[in-house]
Structure formats: C-alpha cells, structure tokens
Amino acid sequence: MATPLEPTRLLLLAEQAVWAATLHECLAPFGDAYVLISAPSWAVVSSLFEHDRQAVLLTTPKLQPADLACQMAQVLLLEAEPAEPPQSASDWLVRSTLNPDTLRRCLRHVRERTSLESTLQRLAEEDPLTGIANRQGFQTLLAGRLASTEGRGLALGHLDLDNFRHANDSLGHQAGDRLILQVVARLKAQLEPGDYLARLGSDEFALLLDTRGDAQRAERMAERIVEAMAEPYWVDGESLLLGCSLGVAHGRAKAGADPLMWHAHIAMQQAKGIQGCTYHVFNERINRNARNLADLESELRRALRRDELELHYQPRLDLTSGQVVGLEALVRWRHAERGLLPPSEFVPLAEQSGLIVPLGYWVISRALYDMQNLREAGVAPLHMAVNLSFRQFQDSQLLSALSRLIDERGIDARWLEFELTETAVMRRNELVRYTMDALGKLGVRFSLDDFGTGFSSFVHLNSLPIALLKVDKSFVEGMEARPENRQLVHAMVNLAHNLNLEVVAEGVETSAQMELLRSFGCDQVQGYLISKPLPMVALQAYLQQRQSAASG
C-alpha cells in the first residue's frame, strides 16, 4: 500500500483524450497524492504495472481485455453514461457524474478491497499455528519459483516426523502444538535467505532450498537438518526424541511441480526405512527400485489376506535342566512361485511400508493360537518369543490390541515374550518405555535380540523391563576359531548376569560351542544343534518325542 509520501499511480488507458482532461480536473484538489499517467498501449501499462503493483488502472470497457481481473487487482472502469455494473473490475466511474469526491471515494474503496483480498489470500495460504506457508501456499510458492528458474538451482525437501502422532496423543494437543513450534524453530534456524519452509500437514513439512549452483548444498543442508532434528525436545519439563525422515529431490529443467513433489515424497519413504533422523536423496535408480518395491508390497498385502504366511518355531534349551523351555516364532512366506521365503526377503520391506503392523498382528495372533493348540495337545507350558519391530511400537493401537488378543486366546501373558533389537529399544522413546511398562504389568517379558550388533547404553538397558539378553549368532559362530570372540561372549554373559538378566546364545551349531557356553555360565541356547525352526506339525512331534524320552 502506498504511504502518504508516495503518490498513488493511476494508469490511464482510454481512447478519448477527454478522460485525461476530466481526471486531471478531479484530481487537482488532492495535490501530490495521485499521479495520473496516460499510457498509449497495453504494453506500456504492463511494464508500468511491473514496477508498481500498487498502481490503479483506469480503462474503458472496450479496451479491457477478458482476463484483466486476474492480471491486475485494481481496475476502475470508465463509462461515459451509467451502465451495467462491471464484473471483472473493482469499481467503475461514470463521466457524467464524476467529481473529486466520488473519484476519491472510489479510489479508497478500490484500495481497501485490494488489501482485504490480499489478507484473505494470506490466510488461505498460511498455517495458523506456525505462521509459515501451508500446503496451498507452498504450491503457489513452488509454482512461482519453478516458473522463474525453470527448475534449475533448487531442491525440494519433504520432511515427515516419525512418531509425532503418538507424542501428540500421549502429551495432549496443546503440548503437541508447542512441539511443532519447536520443530519449526529448528528448521527455520537452518535456512538461509532464498530457502523456504512450509507445513504440508500436521507432521509434514516442505523445504524449498536454493542450491545456489552448488548441488551439494542441498545434501549439506539435509545433513544439518536431520542432525538438528535429532536433538531432544523439551515439552512440559520432559525431554523426548522425535525421529524424522527427509527426502530430497533436485529440480530439473522444465520438470513441473508434481514430479518434483512426488520424487521428494518417494525419497522420504526410502528414508523412512531407516530409523532415527535420516535423509535420502532421490535418484532414478531408487525410483525404479521403488516401483519394484511397490509391486512386492501389494503382493505381500495379498499374501496377508490369503493367509500365505506361516510361522516356524525354534526351540530354546535350558543348559542346566536340559529341557526345552521356550520357542521363538519365525515368520515365513509361502510364495506361490518363489517357494518358502525367509523373513530377510520381506520383513525389511514390510517395515519400510508400514505393513509390518498388520503382519506383526498376524504373527502374534497365530503364535497365541498355536500356544493354545500345544496346551491342548498336552505339551508342558513353554515361553513363546515373538519378534517385534520398532515400527510396531509406533502404532498407537499396540497396547490395546495385544491386551485383547491375549484375553481372547485365554493365554497367561507370563508365557509371552517379545524380542526387540537394540536399535528399537535404545531410541529412548517415551512411547517405547510406556508400552513396555504397560505390557510388563500384564506379565509379558522382553528380551534384547541380536545383542552386540547394535549400540546399547547399559545404564539405559537397566532401566527397561528386559528379562533376557540374546547374544547374536555372529559372536557364537566365531567362538571356536577366535579367542577374542570367546572372551567377548564370556564378557557378555557376565555383563548380563550383573544386570540380573538371563542369557540366551543364538546360532549354536556345534557341541563344542555349547560346551564353551555352558562353561561361561550361559543360561540357554538356541540353534541348529538343538533344532532348526520347525513348522507346527513337526514341532509337536519333536516336543512329544523329547517328552516321552525324558519320562521313559
């Protein structure tokens, strides 16, 4: 809006010279407040308007082009005689009744209307909580930047918070809002002039980065952003960690907004496969992979519906009593063409796509069902260990669904055990702890799987309701050949006992390994030496044969 010191420019484009004379006369009482510029052509009007977006155009219905209203906001139509109110202009002036008063009123009206329109536009394109652009605002901004740069020299980031929904549910919405404000403040602190931030949804953000002719800048920025996001947040005196996934796509000449947004989204999905705060940069190869993954994902979805998954059970032996004391449920996919697939072929994909949540429920439900069957077949109660992915903890229904399943099957929860990996547990996520505590109260036990392959903080380990530690098979494997592996496994057993945890060694294949483990004081062993994972029918036969051998 023009200040009183800056005159309002009136651009006049009319066939008859009489308009210029009339307007000059009417404007005379206002001194320097207005400047009237007679333009000879549309080209001149456009270029004047380019320099001063506050200018008001005065023109006649005949000269007014059809799309005038969208080109310029402030238009006054000049009519010789009273006529129909114009549709596309802000207002109109009739020469026969024109005087300084009506002209001034009209000009004020035009300017007020324009300012109201721009306020409405701003509200429609702004996120009310954070004041940054919303999805619509971002689309406008992106279209503008793509038009002026042809897609060169910019990169688009799509950032998604991994567990915000849970934080929001458990902290309450007001605290959730404060958390979002902290996230935005952190993101803004990483930006430099020319970069833009927008909120696309409740926990999704877009970043428009100016690469300044240096393609590496986007990657450096992404690195800095995920680092900043990984720091703990403080909300209501409590600290919490949020995971985030950032996908980055580079703009390409003449590529539109849609492919760019889509590519950043795909890269974000790829980043989601890795936990913690991570970023991924889009490239064509990933895109092809993503397509294959999409096929496999829909196949897996179908497999779940058609009941093509199976559980095999691997026994766990207690070294003191020589008894089988537990089972580990291991999932397999009986694929129509590819045969029996091990979890490595589809569990990572399921984790990436979120399918692990329904798949995980299927596994738990089937394991509980088989526990019931074993009990009915007269097998002595055994601990049933089920592997749980970190992603399953991000599902807000986990606790209630598990309680319901345990109830429905009439299983004593004390026989149920969940195996978690170090990375899942060490995230120090409040939700993980809360869920573990609540399940622990039901009687469920937890074990730390693949111990030694991830990173564990022992102080933290001791504060979680974990009952067992499973030494990863890679350490057991090397024990016979390498003395340092022997020492390592021995140290792990001692460490677990100091923390009051039981120890299970995985991947035991030879009796020499088993004897070493026994001499270290290891509590239980699991591995091909005892038994391979077995389908239900074979397992029942195996257990019954052991039982009768023991009693006979």
- H or E stretch including 75? strand 75-79
Residues that bind Mg ion (CB under 5 A): 387, 419, 449-450, 506
Number of residues that bind ligand C2E (CB under 6 A): 22
| Residue 347 makes contact with ligand C2E by CB under 6 A | yes
| Residue 533 makes contact with ligand C2E by CB under 6 A | yes
Q: List the x/- string, 302-321, binding to ligand C2E by CB under 6 A.
A: ------------x-------
| Residue 146 makes contact with ligand C2E by CB under 6 A | no
Question: Measured from the CB of residue 344, what is the shortest distance to ligand C2E in angstroms?
Answer: 6
Stretch that binds ligand C2E, among 26-34, 241-249, 274-282, 336-344 (CB under 6 A): 336-344
Q: List the x/- string, 260-279, binding to ligand C2E by CB under 6 A.
A: --------------------
Rounded (5°) CA angle 26-28-31: 135
Stretch that binds ligand C2E, among 69-77, 167-175, 372-380, 503-511 (CB under 6 A): 503-511
| Residue 160 makes contact with ligand C2E by CB under 6 A | no
- Exactly one of 88, 509, 536, 538 binds ligand C2E (CB under 6 A); which one? 509
Q: What whole-number distance in Å separates Cα of residue 10 and Cα of residue 54?
A: 9
- Exactly one of 29, 194, 259, 343 binds ligand C2E (CB under 6 A); which one? 343
Question: Measured from the CB of residue 427, what is the shortest distance to ligand C2E in angstroms?
Answer: 16
| Residue 535 makes contact with ligand C2E by CB under 6 A | no
- Exactly one of 214, 441, 482, 528 binds ligand C2E (CB under 6 A); which one? 528
Long-range contacts of 195-198 (CB under 8 A, 24+ apart): 195/221, 196/133, 196/138, 196/141, 197/132, 197/133, 198/127, 198/132, 198/133, 198/134, 198/135, 198/137, 198/138, 198/141
Closest by CA to 502, choosing from 545, 435, 463, 445, is 445
| Residue 363 makes contact with ligand C2E by CB under 6 A | yes
| Residue 507 makes contact with ligand C2E by CB under 6 A | yes
Q: Whose structure tokens read 């990933």? A: 286
Question: Is the CB of 90 or the CB of 352 nearer to ligand C2E?
Answer: 352
Stretch that binds ligand C2E, among 20-28, 179-187, 504-512, 544-552 (CB under 6 A): 504-512
| Residue 449 makes contact with ligand C2E by CB under 6 A | yes
Helix, coil or strand: residue 331: strand
Query: What Rg, from alpha-carbon coordinates, does the chain have?
Result: 35
Torsion of CA 390, 391, 396, 400, to 10 degrees: -70
By CB under 6 A, the residues from 370 to 389 that bind ligand C2E are 387, 389
Question: Measured from the CB of residue 535, what is the shortest distance to ligand C2E in angstroms?
Answer: 12
The 3-state secondary structure of 3-41, one letter per residue: CCCCCEEEEEECCCCHHHHHHHHHHHHHHHHEEEEECCC
Helix, coil or strand: residue 506: coil
Query: Any bridge partners for residue 333, and if so which?
Result: 309, 341
| Residue 422 makes contact with ligand C2E by CB under 6 A | no
Question: Is the CB of 160 or the CB of 506 nearer to Mg ion?
Answer: 506
Burial of 513 (0-12, 13-18, 19+ CB in 10 A): buried
Question: Measured from the CB of residue 181, what is the shortest distance to ligand C2E in angstroms?
Answer: 35
Stretch that binds ligand C2E, among 77-85, 264-272, 342-350, 402-410 (CB under 6 A): 342-350
Stretch that binds ligand C2E, among 53-61, 83-91, 131-139, 507-515 (CB under 6 A): 507-515
Question: Measured from the CB of residue 477, what is the shortest distance to ligand C2E in angstroms?
Answer: 7
Stretch that binds ligand C2E, among 97-105, 192-200, 393-401, 527-535 (CB under 6 A): 527-535
Q: What whole-number distance in Å separates Cα of residue 324 and Cα of residue 542?
A: 11
Backbone phi, then psi, for 182, in 5-degree steps?
-70, -40
Closest by CA to 187, choosing from 175, 173, 200, 174, is 200
Identity of the amino acid at 528: Y
Rounded (5°) CA angle 393-399-404: 140
Q: What whole-number distance in Å separates Cα of residue 66 and Cα of residue 63?
A: 9
| Residue 330 makes contact with ligand C2E by CB under 6 A | yes
Q: What whole-number distance in Å separates Cα of residue 302 and Cα of residue 225?
A: 38
**DSSP secondary structure string for all residues of 171-188:** H-HHHHHHHHHHHHHHHH
Question: Is the CB of 163 or the CB of 387 nearer to ligand C2E?
Answer: 387
- Exposure pattern of 281-292 as b/e (b: 16+ CB <10 Å)? bbeeebeeebee
| Residue 299 makes contact with ligand C2E by CB under 6 A | no
By CB under 6 A, the residues from 74 to 103 that bind ligand C2E are none
Identity of the amino acid at 330: L
- Exactly one of 371, 473, 534, 543 binds ligand C2E (CB under 6 A); which one? 473
Question: Measured from the CB of residue 458, what is the shortest distance to Mg ion in angstroms?
Answer: 19
Long-range contacts of 67-75 (CB under 8 A, 24+ apart): 71/46, 73/114, 73/117, 73/118, 74/110, 74/111, 74/114, 75/110
Question: Measured from the CB of residue 302, what is the shortest distance to ligand C2E in angstroms?
Answer: 18
Interacting residues toward ligand C2E by CB under 6 A: 314, 330-331, 342-344, 347, 360, 363, 387, 389, 419, 449-450, 473, 506-509, 527-528, 533
